[in-house]
Amino acid sequence: MTARPFTSVLVANRGEIAVRILRTVQALGMEGMVVYHAADAGSPAVRMADRAIEIEGPTPVAAYLDAAQIVAKASAAGAEAIHPGYGFLSENAEFAKAVAAAGMVFVGPTPEAIELMGDKVRARNFVEARGFPVAPSAIEDDDPASFVERARAVGAPLLIKPSAGGGGKGMRIVRDLDLLDEEIERGRSEGLRYFGDGRLYAERYVERPRHIEVQVLGDAHGNVVHLFERECSIQRRFQKVVEESPSPGLTPEERTRICEVAAGIARAANYRNAGTVEFIYGAGEFYFLEMNTRLQVEHPVTEEVTGVDLVAEQLRIAMGAPLGYAQNDVRIQGHAIELRLYAEDSARDFSPTTGPILAYRPPDGIRVDSGIAEGSAVTANFDPMLAKVIVHGDSRAQAIERAKQALADFVLLGCKTNAGFLHRLLADPDFAAGDMHTGSIAEKPWLAQEPELDQQRLIELLGAAALLLVPVRTAADAVSLQHAAMGAWRN
């Protein structure tokens, strides 16, 4: 891959991550460009960019996945580098190759690293062959004819996973081995539907596990460091909801061990740029889960506790610069928590919601990474995440209290969100104690239920909300024509 200094960066993404990347690009004095579909024409990212380039497609998502169109338009606009953000084309090795072939710099790892770690089976085999911990498993590619029996021999509980893809799609937990054949067929069908690849593997499922991930950075000169871990155990349907750093569930010795393993995996892969090594942890043991070859949604918590701007580091590394610091130079200060604000109704099984953003007031003094603004419309075109609320405290307890206050101060009207659910989650005694696992939300369905309001309280709240809107307030303050015609008078 080409590595050279550049002065312009095109963000091949949208929403909050496009805004986040543009912020650092422009702070470094570089020109920030962004591509956009017509559905995002009025978005904050488009308004913020030095140059916005429209892309087209049969659907908005298809436009952002059109690698050839994006490369062609970026090249025509004179972009010297492309940052893919997360999602969409961020882990597409062919896209990374096409960017380099067009004479631009891909801000991310090499295509070879993306290909290695993008296939979960190949990544797992690579990690296991180098002596790093992996869960007992059966891989279909090893011998398709015996896959079912080998999976059965691993024993229950068993986790069936597609070899390609991610985001929890196609994953199935099997606790009754009599249902194994049926669940394998379902997993294969979902793998084909989501990723065009029906290959599977099965691994021992750790009951009530924690999901721990480690941020790593590698440069083109062979230097690799970790930036400690993030706790990502608060999930629903394998999707993260709350992340924090450091993890409240690790001892100092366990923290050192898991972070050193993550850095070791990155070194073995000759990894370059930012990446995340994910682990399943339980009962003092941890196993490699996967490596994400991109910037993560939850990267802000690492930035808050280490003081490292990960996007700036990505850009420096992509230019060919060495890291410039060693592992001992990286320190954790305090505690950070990120809350994902989704357009969804927790009381209705977290179903996605849509609607206009009638009022939008983020809390003062709190980091909020967002791609929406007052007047935006939340549609079903994209992922329902609206914003990320990131807080930092001297201690975890202080960070939790600040997170609660930030949610209470956040005004977002017009679209139902999960803010109430997040507040109830933060107040849960088990969360406060750091006692969590990937099934915590499923085990506490009452947290998803909205408290019932009496009719008078509901009327008061609706009235207060309505008065926040300028047209309603103007109408309420207006003098009627009949009284205005009376002129000046007094009783």
Same domain, 164 and 301: no
Same domain, 251 and 182: no
Same domain, 368 and 230: yes
Same domain, 187 and 238: no
Residue 409 inside a domain? The answer is yes
Residue 54 inside a domain? The answer is yes
Same domain, 264 and 320: yes
Q: What is the CATH number of the domain that holds 230?
A: 3.30.470.20
Task: Give the Cβ contact number of residue 482 at 10 Å.
Answer: 7
Distances 243 to 206, 210, 236, 239, 485 between C-alpha atoms, Å = 20, 12, 13, 11, 60
Backbone angles phi and psi of 453, in degrees to 5: -110, 140
Residue 149 inside a domain? The answer is yes
Same domain, 391 and 422: yes
**Where would I find the H helices in 355-468?**
396-409, 419-426, 429-432, 440-443, 455-466
Structural domains counted in the chain? 3
Mean pLDDT over 236-243 rounds to 92
Q: What is the pLDDT of residues 168-220, one digit of tens each?
A: 678 889 999 999 999 999 989 888 888 888 889 898 888 899 999 999 999 99
Residue 371 inside a domain? The answer is yes
Residue 363 inside a domain? The answer is yes
Residue 253 inside a domain? The answer is yes
Buried b / exposed e over 225-236, threshold 16 CB at 10 Å, is bbbbbbbbbbbb
Q: What's the pLDDT score for residue 161?
A: 87
Residue 329 has pLDDT above 60, yes or no: yes
Give residue 347's domain range: 210-448
Q: What is the pLDDT of residues 386-444, one digit of tens each?
A: 999 999 999 999 999 999 999 999 999 999 999 999 999 999 999 999 999 999 999 99
Same domain, 198 and 227: no
Q: What's the pLDDT score for residue 384?
A: 93
**pTM (2 d.p.):** 0.87
Q: Which residue has the tokens 């009783």?
A: 491
Long-range contacts of 463-466 (CB under 8 A, 24+ apart): 465/359, 465/413
Same domain, 85 and 229: no
Same domain, 95 and 166: no
Same domain, 101 and 142: no
Q: What's the pLDDT score for residue 340?
A: 98
Q: What is the pLDDT of residues 470-490, one digit of tens each?
A: 777 777 777 666 666 666 666
Same domain, 423 and 282: yes
Same domain, 247 and 320: yes
